[in-house]
Amino acid sequence: MSAPPVTSRVTEEAPGSARPVWWLVLKQELVELWVGGRVLNFLILFSILMSITAFLLATNNELSLVPLEQTVVVALTAAITFGLFIGLIIAAESVTGERERATLEPLLLTPTSHRQIIFGKFLAALSPWPATFALAIPYVATLSQGEPVLWPALFWGAVAGTILSIGFIGFGILVSIWSDTSRISLFVCLLAYAVSLVPSQLPTEFQDSPPGTVLAALDPVESAAQLLTKTVQDGSPLGQVWSYIVAPVVLTVLILVLLFWFAAPRLGLQAGRARSHERVPRTAEVSA
Amino acid sequence: MTQARDPQAASARTEILLSEDLRKFYGSRLALHSLSFSLEAGRVLGFLGPNGAGKTTAMRILTTILEPSSGRFVVDGINSDQPEKIRHKIGVLPEGLGFPKQLTAIGYLTYFGQLYGRPSGDARRRGLALLTDVGLQHRADSAIGTFSHGMRQRLGIARALVNDPAVVFLDEPTLGLDPRGQQELLALIRAIARDRGTGVVLCSHLLSEIEGICDDVVIMNEGQVVAKGTVAEVIGQTQPTQRNAIRLRVPPTSVDVARRALEALPDVELGTPADETSGWLAVQLVVPDGESAAEEYRLKNGILRALIDADVPVLAFEVGGGRLQDVFLQLTAETIL
């Protein structure tokens, strides 16, 4: 059977310049996440959770059970926590999902920097965070009842949420690079997420004790919650609360260093086995 | 700009792919033992072997996904210690390739064209030309999720060509396709080598397709090359006992007549195939050692002549060892058993 002749000449090159790889990967990922409907589903879930949270907080506020400032802080913390969950889920599947769908291999076969591929995926996984924060604004604005507490709340919420999102998404992609399946990466990420929420659930007595204070300073989510409480609720100046920014920032920087300098260049078809040069055993080992 | 491959210039060149003593260990297990072969531009090389023979390991090394434990390979003059540069020179259709379902066919090819450094407009034009080559031009703007398996394989081949590669690696490209789809895809692969001067490495379990379109063959078993050469050379490696085994088919009503005609022939022994009721007969030529090939041909022609003289219609006549499958089964017998 004969086939039609195949083009043997490349068409003339058009004027224009090649785009950076991270930009191409980001565009591609955004299409899959947003046009594919995955992020939209998460945003609907986020809205439902925020509605329930806001309703409960508003009820408590009307009964004068909780002060207004604290209501705003709790709503903000909830928005950040739900937003982190979305980002973490997307990040956890960013590499393992491609492995499972067999779409990673063609990407690895292109002469592109693996670091740039991961950077594109990182930015794409970060993209739902501004949307979730924007969705949270009406809830926080309503709960603040026109009081000036709204503006510092939004500012510090954006700062803390962005730092935490960058760290959590970096962690999710890191786990995804080192996991063979999405099931494993999701399990590890959700476990880490749950652990990060534990300190805030501990008894108040423990939280106020020295070990509790240390634990709060080390846990990035609790640190961020404390930061919001001190700045928004107590009105403390930045000079008194900077210690609560340290844990999220340090952890985020460490994760990003680990992700882009160590893990990304080793991105491979199998978890942690990128073009690894296997050890050549001695002859005796082979024959044995 | 990526230069076009001139088929004439390419075919004048030799050894567009050269593998020298490639070895791969997984821990202490030797998965690939001393793989050496070469491929010339414009030729199709069939890569054969039973499951676990080391084909996938070899393909992944040659496509820079895995690093060899020792040995080297050269693609279009570039040594294997420069994997980034080699990736510019190769196109790959991996087995079981996945696709982003929301993306259109042209969007997919444009994306990969851009990953190879082409500007957007050029990548799109190139993508459209490739879609025409693989017969998908009318579905350029359709989402890949709506494509059949055969269409996806064609799209995968088009993707493997976006960088105008010197060598294309195709891993089981016809897997899961219906017979017509298989034939169309094989014709396309042949055309890629013929018209573009590209070297094609075709990994397949379907021996008939390898035999039909490949110029050269490498047969692997348990990590080692057990036969290599042109298809004719490899087929020539069959044992004499296999070459002298003949299966022929006559109408079931003529089986007795055919048996009597064949029993009358000297140097011919009749066997009893399991499917004699459907008209199949097994014949073994008795050719003494040292006899020339001409004697074999004389005896085979004698069988046909005897059947014709007995007025028996010959529906099929298969000479053992005359197909790649016979060599493959012979060389990989231990693994299969």
B292-315 residue pLDDT tens: 667 777 888 888 999 999 999 999
B196–A108 CB contact, under 8 Å: no
| CA dist., res. B233 & res. A287, Å (int) | 33
Question: pLDDT tens, B172-214?
Answer: 888 878 888 888 888 888 988 988 889 999 998 778 778 888 9
**Prediction ipTM score:** 0.82
Residue B246: HSE in the Cβ half-sphere, 13 Å Cα cutoff? 22
What the block records as the tokens of B303 is 């069988």
**pLDDT at position A273:** 59
**In chain A, what are the domain boundaries?**
27-269
Helix orientation angle between A114-126 and A150-177, rounded to the nearest 10 degrees = 140
pLDDT in tens, chain A (288 residues): 445 555 543 434 444 567 899 999 999 999 999 988 899 999 999 999 999 999 988 887 676 677 788 889 999 999 999 999 999 999 999 999 999 999 999 999 999 999 999 999 999 999 999 999 999 999 999 988 888 888 889 999 999 999 999 999 999 999 999 999 999 999 999 999 999 888 877 887 887 788 887 887 788 888 888 889 888 888 888 788 888 888 889 999 999 999 999 999 999 888 765 554 444 444 444 333
Chain A contact present for B154, CB below 8 A: no
Q: Decide yes or no: CATH 3.50.50.60 for domain B240-320.
A: no
Residue B93 DSSP class: E
**In chain B, what are the domain boundaries?**
7-99+147-230, 240-320
Chain B from 74 to 133: CB within 8 A of any A CB: 83-85, 87-88, 90, 92, 94, 96-100, 102-103, 111-112, 114-122, 125-126, 129-130, 132-133
| CA dist., res. B120 & res. A201, Å (int) | 52
Q: Read off the pTM.
A: 0.81
Which residues partner with B18 through β-bridges?
B38, B74
User: From residue B253, how far is each of A190, B271, B303, B336 by CA, in Å?
Assistant: 73, 18, 19, 36
Segment B80-101 shows an average pLDDT of 91
In Å, how far is A188's CA from the nearest CA of chain B?
A: 26
Closest B-chain CA to A103: B98
Q: Which of A12, A112, A280 lies nearest to residue B115, judging by beta carbons?
A: A112
Residue by residue, DSSP assigns A7-57 as: P-SPPPPPSS-PPPHHHHHHHHHHIIIIITSHHHHHHHHHHHHHHHHHHHH
What the block records as the tokens of B236 is 């020539």
**pLDDT at position A14:** 41
CATH of the domain spanning B7-99+147-230, picked from 1.20.1050.90, 3.40.50.1460, 3.40.50.300, 2.40.50.90: 3.40.50.300
In Å, how far is A49's CA from the nearest CA of chain B?
A: 29
User: How many other C-beta atoms lie within 10 A of the C-beta of residue A76?
Assistant: 27
In Å, how far is B8's CA from the nearest CA of chain A?
A: 11
Closest A-chain CA to B162: A10
In Å, how far is A115's CA from the nearest CA of chain B?
A: 14
Tell me which of A109, A112, A269 to substitute to probe the interface with B (most B C-beta atoms closer than 10 Å): A109
What residues in B contact A288, CB-CB < 8 Å? 28
| CA dist., res. B282 & res. B208, Å (int) | 22
